Chain A
């Protein structure tokens, strides 16, 4: 029994570990420098890791008629990129140059080799020596004006993190802020409108009597599993029909021809709102109706006797009592719309400034292929809002999940 108990801890810890590692990878990569993020895996970011760096011995025209040039490799490396300062120990420098050919003394051969600290190497006729702490001296036999030399140093680098990627995607790159705003434009109405419409319908299905009510309800709910892909093309054709009609109307009503702005886009935020609203109906009506139908019937009856009409009953009694169900569906819908790629791809706006976040991320998988720190930072930004909403309203979300799939009541 004791063994079994500790085994439980180990197995669960292992699973949790597997679940966490990708998050660690995401956040670590987003906090690294561009070079580090695309050179070495995220797990090397926590320990000193040998990476290659290029530095110039000095600036052009900085040194005149001198015999000794001295400096520090780390100072040279950090003079520009101060946000990810390089520190650590210099292991070696790559020597690229000609040495006399051991087989044929009249010729030279081109060699590349790693020169360790303390060993003299011949750079432009001078003796170049460096120490592991980065100090170097470059000694010439006579007064000279050497040109700066670019050298590759291999440095066992200490861990360094910074928020540069976030600054860049949020303030220098236009796409991420635009995607963020677009996602809000799409998500907020596409959450509130379906809840409003579905709550009224759910109230009618629960507490009003009209012919065909039960069958209509079954049909509505069974539409829940119809793949939305089935509807995309006709919806798109419908919207382009409306758009061309609206274009003509605009031409007729306004002087848009002068500014060449008559075109009404068929794929727009409005088409996304309506489509998301329609696609959300079956689940929303199902969840809300099952909640509303279980509210005490006496409330309705006494309100009817007091002369309240249905709209008053709905707004004064049903809505306040249904807050938990409304909250759980609104989280569902918020997460679903915020994270949706396929509906936005087919129905949503496709110009660069109006793309929603998942489409932007999908594009960035290509454009930021070599800037993994930016890709990961952008992904983190896209996740912050849904994760906060999700964690803070977890209780309602779970309740909705359970109502939706465990039982019908």
Chain B
């Protein structure tokens, strides 16, 4: 073993250097070499434009088809490069081992075997280190610096100094986060359990479940647009009614149900304080399907004999659920809860889409974005302020992270791998 260490190190380094040099060069070369494909697509576009009645003018057609050409070669090249990596490094590993440890087959395979795992986990670990670990620590150090690099705690002043930038916003963001944290997971889990139980007891349950499930496939911005039709206020024409003579209507269904006159066109999600609850509801609407599916599976996994025993003892449906089934899926509830908590803490899209700059609706993630755009008062310090809020966001997630790591570790031990 001792004598082959230098061989392993040498081969590893050779593979690493080849890959680091070869892959980016190949990628750039492939992009440059395949550029004529864009022109080819542009010509196809022009041909279509001339032979069919396009609504697009010729310039836009060329632009569109060039973009499609670019899309195709970008997809093929990027995917190809990632396959190429594994193929080349595997080939190099075998080839180098054969060259450098001639004769001894056992030595050869030992060299190959010690390098191969790192070829396989290498890209994943590199990406994680470069794009998660190092940036996380860089953000931490950035948050304790002025823009010019001198150490400071000024970026955290919003924690204690009422005159600091972001003092008010941070408090509002924390208040809102707390409300979101309590309400959204609670609602999702309650509704999810309710639907899981109800759907399993009626014949059309599968249809109901599919419908509840679909919002999971939709982007949060899409969900915001969907619910805008319900929460937003009166339309343009409705406001311009002539002397009250003409009929006018609300645009938002819920506002109409609440009896708001069309002239009152403040969207419900813009209401001071109460608007938060409408934003939360959108997330509940999206995520209930997730809770439902998992609870539905967990409930089906409850051992049949416990249910039969309870039936023989004459348990009512309520007792059956709260005394027999719920305790047995308790760990699943906890898992769903932690998943939803992380989701809520990182929530950005919904408040950003519907009430981007409203302090009253801030969450930590939207506060970060606002710090970047709106509070450029401290000179070039915005990035550092951004970093310090990111750290606050991280701190709120840490208890969850610790819990998750503990859970996974315990599971690994239970399975015995």
Contacts and interface: CB of A to CB of B under 8 A. Distances in A.
A12 B199 contact: yes
Nearest to A359: B221
A376 B75 contact: no
A309 B297 CA distance: 39
B212 A230 contact: no
Interface stretch (A101-109, A127-135, A137-145, A333-341): A333-341
Contact of B346 (A178, A228, A386): A228
A404 B74 CA distance: 31
A310 B120 contact: yes
Contacts of B123: 197, 200-201
Interface string A186-211: 00110011001110110111001110
Nearest to B345: A227
A196 B247 contact: no
B117 to A, nearest CB: 4
Contact of B408 (A229, A398, A408): A408
Interface string B109-138: 000101011111101110110111111101
Interface in B44-74: 55-56, 60, 63-64, 67-68, 70-71, 74
Nearest to B129: A278
B120 A208 contact: yes
Given A193-B78, A196-B86, A406-B298, A229 B68 contact: no
Nearest to B227: A22
A282 B346 contact: no
Nearest to A197: B123
B92 to A, nearest CB: 12
Nearest to B130: A278
Interface string B319-345: 000000000000010011001001001
A179 B297 CA distance: 37
Given A185-B71, A358-B221, A405-B294, A370 B236 contact: yes
B219 A229 contact: no
Interface stretch (A34-42, A61-69, A72-80, A321-329): A34-42
Nearest to B55: A171
Interface string B256-274: 1000000000000000000
Nearest to A18: B285
Contacts of B118: 210
B37 interface: no
B138 A234 contact: yes
A21 B227 CA distance: 10
Contact of B297 (A35, A184, A402): A402
Q: How big is chain A's contact interface, by range?
A: 35 or more
Given A230-B136, A278-B127, A390 B246 contact: no
B78 to A, nearest CB: 4
Contact of B124 (A185, A220, A233): A220
A9 interface: yes
B218 A387 contact: yes
Given A342-B348, A365-B353, A390-B217, A226 B401 contact: yes
Contact of A113 (B191, B227, B245, B336): B245
Nearest to B128: A281
Contacts of B352: 341, 362
B83 A196 contact: yes
A310 B354 CA distance: 51
Q: How big is chain B's contact interface, by range?
A: 35 or more
B387 interface: yes
Interface string A264-293: 000001100111011101100110000001
A349 B332 CA distance: 39
A226 B336 contact: no
B308 to A, nearest CB: 19
A305 interface: no
Interface in A234-262: 234-235, 237-238
Contacts of B236: 38-39, 370
A79 to B, nearest CB: 21
Interface in A376-406: 376, 379, 382-383, 386-387, 389-391, 394, 398, 401-402, 405-406
B55 A172 contact: yes
A223 B246 CA distance: 60
A386 B217 contact: yes
Contacts of A269: 74
Given A8-B198, A310-B120, A230 B349 contact: no
B250 interface: yes
Interface stretch (B9-17, B148-156, B390-398): B390-398
A174 B393 CA distance: 38
A94 interface: yes
Nearest to B215: A19
Contact of B116 (A22, A208, A293): A208
A192 B76 CA distance: 11
B124 A285 contact: yes
Contact of A227 (B219, B242, B394): B394
Contacts of B342: 225
Contacts of A152: 242, 246
26 contacts: A8-B202, A15-B208, A23-B214, A37-B235, A38-B235, A42-B229, A43-B256, A50-B247, A52-B237, A196-B86, A221-B408, A230-B136, A231-B136, A274-B127, A279-B131, A309-B112, A339-B217, A339-B219, A340-B219, A341-B221, A341-B348, A365-B353, A379-B225, A401-B293, A405-B294, A408-B412
Interface of B: 55-56, 60, 63-64, 67-68, 70-71, 74-75, 78-79, 82-83, 86-87, 90, 94, 112, 114, 116-121, 123-125, 127-128, 130-136, 138-139, 142, 191, 194-195, 198-199, 201-202, 205, 208, 210-222, 224-230, 235-238, 242-243, 245-253, 256, 285, 290, 293-294, 297-298, 317, 332, 335-336, 339, 342, 345-346, 348-349, 352-354, 365, 368-369, 383, 386-387, 390-391, 393-394, 397, 400-401, 404-405, 408-409, 411-412, 414-415, 417
Given A227-B397, A285-B124, A358-B219, 15 more contacts: A8-B198, A21-B253, A41-B249, A42-B253, A112-B245, A174-B60, A185-B75, A227-B393, A233-B383, A311-B86, A339-B222, A361-B219, A365-B221, A372-B235, A402-B294
